Amino acid sequence: MKELTFETLIAVFEEIFGRGLFWAMVAVAAIVTLAYLFVLIRDRSVSWKKFLLAQLSMPFGGIAAVLFVQKVTRSDFNDIGGPVDVFVLLGVGLVGAIGLAILVYTLQSLLRPPQDA
């Protein structure tokens, strides 16, 4: 592999997660993103109470993402070999934390829309 292309990344992720699981995760991420954009456009403002609750969920999302990747790849924390592995694990945790915060905020906004004055 001499150069890193988008197609190469997709192939690597399909190999790691399996084709079905990978594309299911992509579909869920797209649906949550579209719902989040819908909520932002509909509400025209950010509810800071909902935002705070979403931020409080972030550590759980980070931990869940790391444990999910560890389970899917059949690896353990003892398999971390160097700095690159640590950075990848931190990146997975960060993406999981942000993803869960977006999901929590979106679900809160969809289940309890703002009351018009």
**Consecutive 10-residue averages of pLDDT for the chain (117 residues):** 84 89 94 94 89 95 94 85 88 95 95 75
Calculate the average pLDDT of the chain.
Answer: 90
117 within some domain: no
84 within some domain: yes
Rounded Cα–Cα distance for residues 96 and 34 (Å): 18
Query: How many structural domains does the chain have?
Result: 1
Q: What is the pLDDT of residue 9?
A: 87
58 within some domain: yes
78 within some domain: yes
33 within some domain: yes
Q: What is the pLDDT of residue 113?
A: 83
Cα-atom radius of gyration of the chain, to the nearest Å? 17
Note the pTM of the prediction, 2 decimals.
0.85
The whole domain housing 82 covers: 6-111
1 within some domain: no
116 within some domain: no
Q: What is the pLDDT of residue 46?
A: 86
Q: What is the pLDDT of residue 32?
A: 95
For 89, the enclosing helix (H) or strand (E) is: helix 83-111
Q: What is the pLDDT of residue 65?
A: 95
65 within some domain: yes
67-95 as b/e: b if 16+ CB within 10 A: eebeeeeeeeeeeeeeeeeeeebeebbee
Dihedral of the CA atoms 30, 18, 67, 28 (nearest 10)? 10
